[in-house]
Chains A and B, each alone.
Chain A
Amino acid sequence: MASDLTTHDGQPLHKSLAKALRREKLRALVLIAPLLLFVLITFVSPIADMLFRSVENSIVPKTLPGTTRTLQSWDALGEELPGEEVYASLADDMMLAQELKIHTRLGSRLNYDQPGIASVFRKSGRQVKKIDSSAHLDGFIQSNEIWTKPESWANLRKNGLWPGAFPASSTAWSNWVRFMKSDEGDDVDLSEKTPSGLAYSALYFDLQKLSDEQWRQLTDSDNETTRAMFNGLREASAQFPAANYKEQFLDMHDGWGKLDNWRTLHRLSPPIVDSYYWASVDRERTSDGVVHKPENERIYVKLFVRTILMSALITLMCILLGYPIAYLLATLPTRTSNLLMILVLLPFWTSLLVRTSAWKVLLQQQGVINNILVWLGVVGDDGRLALINNMTGTVITMTHILLPFMILPLFSVMKTISPSYVRAAKSMGASDWTSFRRVYFPNTIPGIGAGSILVFILSIGYYITPELVGGTKGVFISNRIAYHISSSLNWGLAAALGSILLVAVLILYWAYDRIVGIDNVKLG
């Protein structure tokens, strides 16, 4: 039947309707576009960036492109150090890294996972320049003089097998070009130069991996220079003087001889890693798979649990204290309730640090509360209560600081509950308790919900108050996040911890929605 209905211009009604609605929606979208963009730019993209930092690890493959590649074929589970080839590529990568002054940055990144490796990089930086890389270079030159000429490399780079069959050489070549540009300026002319001995070493190791077919392609090439370069090279290279990069690195710093350092480097070679997340839950990836960290280093899981439990406790305290106050505010005559309201808002407008410090004065052992208790004879002078620098301190202080966030939504919800509901209940014979429990209280649940969500989410992210009054047992996970952001600069771990916290909040929000229903939340 509906299809029979048409508008005056003959269009089917439902099509016309859909079109009109679409236009409406588009118009609405244009109207909210500035806000949408604002939210995207200032809110969504920083969070996305933070989430990405928790897995991002490109600094390792970017700083050590050759080493991370050659390390792939090393047996990380074995008991042998990597071979000469890996050390050769390390020398090549480090030469460029120290020129660009990025080797120490990599060292401090790796140090998060392997304490002590930072100084290996820092101390090796200066000495890498002195590495002797002449062994393979001499071999090439002895095999054919053409290797001293720049056209040998120009020719090689034009060959069809470059860069596929020459991965180490191509990395070494681009490292060398970047090194020269950094050293002598961007307009340096490289056409008259041959690369350093490190590139010849890379080429040597590439040649070892060429197949017979590839050798044939080179030695039977149509190109005269190519034939000259590679004819007899295969046999000659077997007689090349042995390189001693490994020995030189071990002399430079004994850290290069530690298996654990190499395993860490091997594990952190990919551009995306999960190590920050494992660290966030007190675990680490080792050669035996993911294992628990030693007992004396486990801290984050404990702090996550503590943060959530204490936030829940603070929320509960806020409900217990805030509910009667909100009730008074909503039911007292306006003049009195306005005065009370100011008392609620006054601390709200006072600086957070001032309020926290005020609590220190009140709660400490020689503080106001303990002095009064001693004076009243409730506790002895040597039995003063420890009210601060522990969980108690955090709960008391944060309950006070967050109380307005509970009172205000409760108040605005209670304000809308008509007094006649309770009167009606009572007129039908309900006792005070029953009318509160069955009529008034259910009407205030949306306010409790809104207040609880506010208080809980705020307290989960608090760090300055716990830091000042929490001592050692009353600090939250946010204190560790702050430490990693501002002191240790381990932003990856901070991002992972933050992401876990975000997910925990989202799960709790989802659970809240399932149990209470988010439609039941009212801010007024």
Chain B
Amino acid sequence: MSKMSTLATAVALASTLGLGATATAADMPECENCADSMTIVSWGGAYSKSQLRAYHEPYTAATETEIVNDESSAEAVAKLRAMNEAGNVTWDVVDVVAADAIRLCDEGLAVEIDADNDLAAAPDGTPASEDFGDLLVSDCFIPQIVYSTTFGYRTDNADWNGATPEDICAIFDTEKFPGQRSLEKRPIANVEWALMCDGVSIDDVYSMLETDEGVDRALAKLGTIKDQTVWWSAGAETPQLLADGEVAIGSTYNGRLFSAIEEQDQPIAILWDAQMFDLDGWIIPAGLSDDRLARAKHYIKFATDTQRLADQAKYISYGPARASSAPLVGKHADLGIEMAPHMPTDPANAQNTFLYNYEWWADNRDDLDAKFQAWLAN
């Protein structure tokens, strides 16, 4: 059995490779005066693996570029700044969340991208800037996936008496849904949810959070569940806490919940209401030599075209950032299940969502984080 699945994977892999090679030969111009090897930085784990299979392997097959993988995305911002100060940038392409991309762009640590020139157009000729649309949230950022921070809950909570949470405010309803909660140890998303459940519309949330009263109100709402909340700092914690029965409901990234539910068969379900969309994508560090910059741009153009982004969704339940990729999303490469219903962007899941407000948080993150941490510590 395991042998067969390995074989199946190998076949699937081979077909991907073949596809990649032909697609590249047809669409991609040769990379002129480019470096022969490159270092790509990402998050590690299942996510890096999906990139390896969807992007790196076809790219290496097509261009014979040696790709070195580094799993330092969590510290990318600080490390890039240190590299930049030392004048020795060793990374060529870095996978970061959009908020970090904005920070890197502001700090002059990432190069600006001209979407229509540097990125591939959609198969029907739609220019990249339209295909990515509003998701191009920074001049330096090339979006790759849409993921969401949302809630998972155990389906076997005895004292819930068969009730299932339908909307986000269930996390504040300790009468109907008793039990421990887990929330991320930072204000982002938590304060939005708190205000929404305190009767504020999402459009007014940010103007309200700019006042002390708004912050106090959000924290007061969170205060109603503070003593029943475990605060996490790594995305793997909530699925683990749910699996152990430590918490009844908790927030995390939707891909983590997908693997706990589908790959590990845990009694967990997803509450999609008021999920917060966030983006993850590439940046190219500032300060690369010309041949390395050319290689990085060549890779980016390849790895963010319509087919490649759709391919990644075969391995992980994150939605491709291009509008033109969505119809191409197929089945999971190993599990064989349809991936579309597991995407945060699927219409059934995306009835009530909001997008991480990058601009606002870039301005207010440090200030609100200080208030939030002070509130936590008291």
Stretch from A72-80, A115-123, A341-349, A394-402 contacting the other chain? A115-123
CB distance A118 to B231 under 8 Å?
A: no
CB distance A486 to B359 under 8 Å?
A: no
A491 to B363, CA, bound (A): 17
Decide if B216 is an interface residue (CB 8 Å cutoff).
Answer: yes
CB distance A108 to B377 under 8 Å?
A: no
Decide if B367 is an interface residue (CB 8 Å cutoff).
Answer: yes
CB distance A115 to B367 under 8 Å?
A: yes
Q: Quick one: which of B176-190 are within 8 Å of A by CB? A: 180, 185
CB distance B359 to A297 under 8 Å?
A: no
A223-260: CB near B (< 8 Å → 1, else 0) gives 00000000000000000000000000000000000000
Give the number of A-B contacts (CB < 8 Å).
94
Decide if A294 is an interface residue (CB 8 Å cutoff).
Answer: yes
Decide if A303 is an interface residue (CB 8 Å cutoff).
Answer: yes
Q: Of the candidates B185, B212, B364, which one forms a contact with A296 in the assembled complex, judged by CB atoms under 8 Å apart?
A: B212
A389 to B365, CA, bound (A): 24
CB distance A111 to B366 under 8 Å?
A: yes
Q: Interface size for chain B: under 10, 10 to 19, 20 to 34, or 35 or more residues?
A: 35 or more
CB distance B366 to A490 under 8 Å?
A: yes
Decide if A102 is an interface residue (CB 8 Å cutoff).
Answer: yes
Decide if B338 is an interface residue (CB 8 Å cutoff).
Answer: no
Decide if B374 is an interface residue (CB 8 Å cutoff).
Answer: yes
Which chain A positions have C-beta within 8 A of B263? none
Stretch from B38-46, B57-65, B102-110, B324-332 contacting the other chain? B102-110
A191 to B112, CA, bound (A): 32
| Nearest chain B CB to A82 CB, angstrom units | 22
Q: Quick one: which of A474-524 are within 8 Å of B by CB? A: 475, 480, 483, 485-491
A118 to B103, CA, bound (A): 10
| Nearest chain B CB to A64 CB, angstrom units | 16
A348 to B108, CA, bound (A): 42
Known contacts A105-B108, A364-B246: A115-B364 contact under CB 8 Å:
yes
Which chain A positions have C-beta within 8 A of B103? 108, 489
Which chain A positions have C-beta within 8 A of B363? 111, 115-119
| Nearest chain B CB to A388 CB, angstrom units | 9
| Nearest chain A CB to B174 CB, angstrom units | 15
Among B368, B371, B373, B376, max chain A CB count under 10 A is at B373
CB distance B369 to A475 under 8 Å?
A: no
B190-221: CB near A (< 8 Å → 1, else 0) gives 00000000000000000000101001100100
| Nearest chain A CB to B171 CB, angstrom units | 17
CB distance A104 to B106 under 8 Å?
A: yes
| Nearest chain B CB to A299 CB, angstrom units | 4
Which chain B positions have C-beta within 8 A of A486? 74-75, 77-78
Decide if B350 is an interface residue (CB 8 Å cutoff).
Answer: no
CB distance A101 to B108 under 8 Å?
A: yes
A111 to B102, CA, bound (A): 14
CB distance A365 to B377 under 8 Å?
A: no
Which chain B positions have C-beta within 8 A of A294? 212
Decide if B53 is an interface residue (CB 8 Å cutoff).
Answer: no
Q: Of the candidates A111, A122, A297, A490, which one forms a contact with B371 in the assembled complex, judged by CB atoms under 8 Å apart?
A: A297
Which residue of chain B lies nearest to A302 when distances are taken between CB atoms in the complex?
A: B377
Which chain B positions have C-beta within 8 A of A112? 366
Which chain A positions have C-beta within 8 A of B78? 485-487, 489
B80-110: CB near A (< 8 Å → 1, else 0) gives 0100000000000000000000010111100
A104 to B112, CA, bound (A): 13
A445 to B319, CA, bound (A): 63
CB distance B375 to A488 under 8 Å?
A: no
| Nearest chain A CB to B156 CB, angstrom units | 13
Stretch from A85-93, A431-439, A465-473 contacting the other chain? A465-473
Which residue of chain B lies nearest to A298 when distances are taken between CB atoms in the complex?
A: B374
CB distance A118 to B108 under 8 Å?
A: no
Which chain B positions have C-beta within 8 A of A296? 212, 215-216, 219, 371, 374-375
A482 to B305, CA, bound (A): 37
Which chain A positions have C-beta within 8 A of B351? none
Decide if B348 is an interface residue (CB 8 Å cutoff).
Answer: no
A473 to B246, CA, bound (A): 19
Which residue of chain B lies nearest to A115 when distances are taken between CB atoms in the complex?
A: B367
| Nearest chain A CB to B365 CB, angstrom units | 7
Which chain B positions have C-beta within 8 A of A416? none
CB distance B77 to A472 under 8 Å?
A: no
CB distance A364 to B377 under 8 Å?
A: no
| Nearest chain A CB to B37 CB, angstrom units | 27
Which residue of chain B lies nearest to A493 when distances are taken between CB atoms in the complex?
A: B366
Which chain A positions have C-beta within 8 A of B371? 296-297
A468 to B185, CA, bound (A): 11
**In the complex, given contacts A297-B367, A366-B244, what are 18 additional A-B residue pairs having Cβ atoms less than 8 angstroms apart?**
A104-B105, A105-B106, A105-B108, A111-B366, A116-B364, A117-B363, A118-B362, A119-B362, A296-B212, A296-B371, A297-B370, A299-B374, A299-B377, A364-B246, A365-B246, A480-B373, A486-B77, A489-B107
17 A-B contacts, Cβ less than 8 Å apart? A101-B112, A102-B108, A104-B107, A104-B108, A105-B106, A105-B107, A108-B106, A108-B107, A115-B367, A118-B362, A296-B212, A296-B219, A299-B373, A302-B374, A471-B230, A480-B373, A486-B78
